[in-house]
Amino acid sequence: RRLMEADVIVHDAALPEALVAMGRRDAERIAVGKRDTSNQSEINTLLVRLAREGKRVVRLRLGGGLGFGKAGEEVAALRAADVPHEIIPGVASGFASVSSPARARVPGEAA
């Protein structure tokens, strides 16, 4: 839902295009990260600038959440700039192949 509300989608360059394309057709898309030359400080500044311009921004990231990578630095930059934000967790890669952990079966269990 947030992707469909976003004016700008700032996404990791390595994300599959099909995922990035789930946003509004008219949303601006900005690739950042390893395939791009931007460093973390530039990404932090970009997020703050876009939000201060009044744009609804979604930061779409790869990875396992705030415990890994630079997501914590991005959140800290938003907090320091007093920018309201929301964190929406995704699906951890360990569960990605199972539609729901609750539906996973024990070997030999009846279907």
Catalytic residues: 12, 34
Distances (CA, A) of 36 to 13, 14, 32, 33: 7, 9, 5, 5
Counted residue by residue, the chain has a size of 111
Q: Quote the tokens at residue 4.
A: 């469909």
Residue 27 near residue 6, CB atoms below 8 Å: yes
Nearest to 2 by CA among 30, 33, 28, 24: 24
